[in-house]
Amino acid sequence: MEEVQLMKGNEAVAHAAIRCGSDGYFGYPITPQSEIMETLMAERPWETTGMVVLQAESEVASIYMVFGGAATGKKVLTTSSSPGVSLMQEGISFACGADLPCLLVNVMRGGPGLGTIQPSQSDYFQSVKGGGHGDYKLITLAPASVQEMADFVELGFQLSFKYRIPCMMLSDGVIGQMMEKVVLPPFKPRRTQEELLEQCPWAATGKTEDRERIVITSLDLDPYRMEKKNEERQSRYRLVEATEVRYEEFMCTDADYLIVAFGSAARICQNAVESLRAEGIKVGLLRPITLWPFPGKILAKYAEKVRFMLTVELNAGQMVEDVRLSVNGKVPVYHYGRMGGIVPTPEEVSTAFNKYL
Amino acid sequence: MKEEIIIAGFGGQGVLSMGKILAYAGLISEKEVTWMPAYGPEQRGGTANVTVILSDSKISSPVLNTFDTAIILNQQSLQKFESKVRPGGVLLYDPHGISSPPTRTDIAIYTIHAMDTATEMNNTKAFNMIVLGAFLKIKPIVDIQAVLTGLKKSLPERHHHLIPMNEKALQKGFDVVQKA
């Protein structure tokens, strides 16, 4: 049996990255996710698996190091927190325009601007609506436990490489900083160059006699070709929307009311649901695990049965817009949130819920 | 079994590490565990606190408003958390430096003279283990052996020679805790 360990979500990301055979990590320290690079530096994977760990001079540099690594088909990642992820937006848009797979992790803190260093979920829009320019999407995974922060590293890479869409793990200060039990994924060797050539024929690996030159770029001055490229990309987005939606239901089957929350807010809401249930109120919790693709269909289904929905987010109301779009006016959708790094307690959620009863 | 604990005091008193050792002991006792520190400005030069939950079943929220037990190591934290102990719960505090002691009558209040005891033992670093020993006397949710194994896991090997000293401190806390 695999060893059960106790560690922070941030530390789990670092260990999982080494274990799943990542080729490189490029980052710049920022609270509340600095433990990721600290753990990687302490583990020294360059001496064991050969994984590169590099502290870049800024987040702008680290995202372009990721772009470079990804262009050669390598499994590369960067991690940061809200202000740092804002700096990366241009590079993220470029990676999407060049259809490069990579893993990005945002351990969100309060904003806007430098904001605070405490937990927040106010980068939902930035992640799922495109924080940079152009028609693009990021596969966005929202972990709600240390175990999921570990598991979503490999899942993120798999999805990203399968569809050639960058994947964002959207975590927050609560999940990154808390310690919980975790079973780390088993060790998997890094891909050999032969495996890479076979699995990533699109990668810039050096021209050989037997094939055409590969150019990785997001630029094409011919608008007709550019539209074709966009259409092909959009068709992949439709495929992801049709096949990769993930969510978790908690006490939903007989629910008269539904709370919708992701990440740390979902953990808090689960506690609130338990105490509301103890009072005899039939409330359930739906936790989107993929924020894009968004679990809109299941919400539309619940809109047929429940009296109202309440989204609870550590922000001013962002995911609530997607929930409203999904239920299309069938039931009222309310929002409760705290901002600036304040994390609501389960009691606050119950009180907010009871206002609408 | 489910025990929700807040440990609060000054940064440097070993608040976070005490919580960590307790969490490790929970892990060894095959319980579900969460350890959620206040990592914000509190930690940077003021009070530090950590929420530790040990439970037989899956833990939902790592963030709580009220607690079964508050372990309080300075005046500010006492002011902040005395009201957050659930009726029938436990408040354990070190009277050292406390000018206005707790006043609630619906909770069980205990004192542990950990600062004085640590000074007597000529080992101020044992402070947090004395407090932990006191807590485990009141609420034996994990056994001392699990704590010692937890300590071994959370300490780097070069510090393992300090484990007997920590065991002594735990025992001391066990012996000197008092009902207020």
Across chain A, mean pLDDT equals 97
Q: At A319, is the pLDDT very low, low, confident or very high (cuts 50, 70, 90)?
A: very high
* Tokens standing for residue A253: 């089957």
Residue ranges matching CATH 3.40.50.920 in chain A = 247-355
A4 inside 8 A of chain B by CB: yes
Pairing mode of beta strands A257-260, A283-288: parallel
Provide the pLDDT for residue B152.
Answer: 87
Over range A71-99, report the average pLDDT: 98
Provide the pLDDT for residue B73.
Answer: 95
Q: What is the DSSP string of A81-96?
A: -HHHHHHTHHHHHHHH
Provide the pLDDT for residue B43.
Answer: 59
CATH superfamily of B2-179: Pyruvate-ferredoxin oxidoreductase, PFOR, domain III (3.40.920.10)
Amino acid at A318: Q
Which of A10, A108, A179 is the best substitution to test chain B (most B C-beta atoms within 10 A)?
A179
Closest chain A C-alpha to B160 CA, distance in angstroms? 19
A270 inside 8 A of chain B by CB: yes
Contact A291, A319 (CB under 8 A): yes
Q: Interface pTM (ipTM) of the complex?
A: 0.93
Give the bridge partners for B7, in sequence order.
Answer: B50, B71
Query: Hunting for tokens 């055409």 — which residue is that?
Result: A212
Over range A64-77, report the average pLDDT: 98
Which residues from chain A sit within 8 angstroms of residue B45, using beta carbons? Answer: none
Q: At B44, is the pLDDT very low, low, confident or very high (cuts 50, 70, 90)?
A: low
Question: What order of strands is seen across the sheet that includes strand A290-292?
Answer: A52-55, A24-27, A76-80, A103-108, A167-172, A139-141, A290-292
Provide the pLDDT for residue B12.
Answer: 84
Task: Please state, in angstroms and rounded to a whole number, the distance separating the CA atoms of residues A289 and A148.
Answer: 10
Facing B61 at nearest CB: one of A5, A180, A267: A267
Q: How many residues does chain B have?
A: 180
Q: Over pLDDT 70: what percentage of chain B?
A: 97
Provide the pLDDT for residue B42.
Answer: 62
Among A78-92, A132-146, B27-41, the minimum mean pLDDT is found in B27-41
Provide the pLDDT for residue B41.
Answer: 66
pLDDT at position A129 over 80:
yes
CA distances from A172 to A69, A269, A328, B132 (A): 26, 16, 29, 30
Contact A325, A296 (CB under 8 A): yes
Q: What is the pLDDT of residues B74-93, one digit of tens each?
A: 999 999 999 999 999 999 99
pLDDT at position A122 over 80:
yes
CA distances from B124 to A271, B119, B160, B167 (A): 39, 6, 18, 14
A180 inside 8 A of chain B by CB: yes
Q: What is the pLDDT of residues B139-178, one digit of tens each?
A: 999 999 999 998 888 788 999 999 999 999 999 999 999 9
Do B40 and A4 make contact, defined as CB atoms within 8 angstroms?
Answer: no
Helix (H, G, I), strand (E, B) or coil at B137: helix
Which residues from chain B sit within 8 angstroms of residue A31, using beta carbons? Answer: 39
Q: Over pLDDT 90: what percentage of chain A?
A: 98
Q: CB burial class (10 A; 0-12, 13-18, 19+) of residue B76?
A: middle
Give the bridge partners for B37, in sequence order.
Answer: B50
Residue ranges matching CATH 3.40.50.970 in chain A = 4-183
Give the single-character DSSP code of A119.
B
Give which of A294, B81, A14, A295 is closest to A5, Cα–Cα.
A14
Over range A169-198, report the average pLDDT: 97
Over range A105-114, report the average pLDDT: 97
For chain B, domain boundaries:
2-179
Which residues from chain B sit within 8 angstroms of residue A178, using beta carbons? Answer: 34-37, 62
pLDDT at position A168 over 80:
yes
Across chain B, mean pLDDT equals 93
Task: Please state, in angstroms and rounded to a whole number, the distance separating the CA atoms of residues A117 and B110.
Answer: 35
Which of A180, A268, A273 is the best substitution to test chain B (most B C-beta atoms within 10 A)?
A180
pLDDT at position A242 over 70:
yes
Domain A4-183, classified CATH 3.90.1010.10, yes or no: no
Which of A6, A174, A269 is the best substitution to test chain B (most B C-beta atoms within 10 A)?
A6
Domain A247-355, classified CATH 1.10.1530.10, yes or no: no
